[in-house]
Amino acid sequence: MNIIHIVFVTLSIIVANEAKVLNKNVDTCQEILGDELIEEIWGYENVKDEILKYVIDGDFKRKTYDELAKFVDKFGARPSGTEVLEKSIDYMIDLTREEGLNDIVTEELEVPRWERGEERITMLEPRVKDISVLGLGRSVSTPPEGITAEVVVFKSFDELENTPDEKVAGKIVLYAPIFTKYGETNKYRTQGATKASAKGAVASLVRSITPFSINTPHTGSQTYGEGVIPIPTAAIAIEDADLISRIHARGEKVVLHIRMFSNLETKVSRNTLIDLKGTQNPEKLVIVSGHIDSWDVGQGAMDDGGGLFISWAAPVILKRLNLIPKRTVRAIFWTAEELGLIGAYAYEKAHRHESDNINFIMESDEGTFAPLGLAVGGSKKARCIVGEVLKLFKSINASTLVEEDAPGSDIGIFTGNGIPGASLHNDNAKYFWFHHTEGDTMNVEDPDELDLGAAFWTAVAYIIADLSEDIPR
């Protein structure tokens, strides 16, 4: 416990430096909420304790981990548009029905199916060396004979834009930014091919978007902009990117041969909706969610199997404990998140007419390590209400509220439209070590931390769904 406590303290310091934490001006929030609402929130302390005890020490102990492990071991990777993804959706429906929850709906939508084929990069000059590679989502193929060209290295888009086109045309662009934060650095992955193509490059590579590597390339999605020729694009491991960068910085010529093949088509998939109907206002929703698809590398245990299963667990735990809140708790398993939030966009469009009924929306998609609190988007009063709820979780070190205008990935579509929401804020300092790699396996998951996450996620959802007052917009 002493080591865990040290980790919590250390991470809290890091978070304070990287994110704006809610100014805990007690008088301000007390004035906004009023004594009556604060007293009501604290009236849920016993219910919160009941949920935590049941999951952490009771009959649900290790259930989340064990079910996730069975799921991951059975299906492995679940790429968008594949038969294995659809079978995994059927499996989750059956698993939910076994728990006595039958208010389940699936909603069909078209999704991309991008399938990687052969991928190989060889450095030909100044020496021969194989380069570890993973193509980026929706990348086009090289010609059958591949591409052989000189490399030009850029640390930023500004460097690229300030370089004359003739020094880029016909070459392979390598982006080699140092990882800062994911939200800042991944633009070189998502936009790199488009910007390189506009300058006449024949292919683009990106230094993997991660702070740590053991020669592990990290894949991810990218989208070609309008008006440019799609060019092959891939991620290479930090070690290879830094090697090429050092050689290039010395003024030596680096030549690569790239062979990449892939196929892109359209398939049909499904979002999955599971409702635990509310007792007084069943039309009003508190949504918990995670995405069920994954990349084709690794097993999708961390991204986003953990988030999927704590969201599955929330209505299951409440049903088992006969804790039925006033509003409906809806678990959503988003499909095709990895190739562009396809499932979330489809749900928002299909349910736009009833968006006023979403009281609060939650998503877990940055790991399910030890919970620290929530990253919350919404009005000042919404944040004050959630902040007061989080105070109930000091006993498990999960009382931190981080202010974010757009928390989460899938739910950003909803919070961007003024719907209050939150993503799980957890001890995920190593999340991007394994993100979008072969390393995303059950070895990353910890049963005790998953128990904490499931208990926390369930209790927060219940309290917000049962409060007498809606979360204001």
What is the rounded CA–CA span in Å between residue 103 and residue 105? 7
What is the rounded CA–CA span in Å between residue 194 and residue 185? 16
How would you classify residue 199: left for phi > 0, otherwise alpha for psi between -120 and 50, otherwise beta?
alpha
Residues 6+ apart with CB under 8 A from 151: 171, 172, 173, 174, 205, 244, 248, 254, 255, 256
Judged on CB neighbours under 10 Å (0-12, 13-18, 19+), 249 is exposed
Q: How many CA atoms lie within 13 A of 366 on its CB side?
A: 24
What is the rounded CA–CA span in Å between residue 347 and residue 364? 17
Contact 333, 287 (CB under 8 A): no
- Residue spans of beta strands (DSSP E) within 397-470: 400-403, 421-426
Judged on CB neighbours under 10 Å (0-12, 13-18, 19+), 204 is buried
What is the rounded CA–CA span in Å between residue 181 and residue 178? 9
What is the rounded CA–CA span in Å between residue 50 and residue 58? 10
Judged on CB neighbours under 10 Å (0-12, 13-18, 19+), 312 is buried
Tokens 């998140």 sit on residue:
337
Q: Is 104 helix (H, G, I), strand (E, B) or coil?
A: strand
Element (H, E) at 452: helix 447-466
Which entry of 67, 337, 338, 366 is annotated as an active-site residue? Answer: 337
Furthest-apart CA atoms within the chain: distance in Å: 73
Name which of 382, 415, 422, 419 is nearest 398 in CA terms. 422
The token pair at 472 is 């204001």
**Rounded to whole angstroms, what are the CA distances from 235 to 16, 79, 152, 257, 380?**
31, 18, 15, 15, 40
Q: Is 404 assigned a catalytic role?
A: no
Beta bridge partners of 148: 257
Residues 6+ apart with CB under 8 A from 450: 64, 65, 68, 306, 309, 310, 368
Active site residues: 337
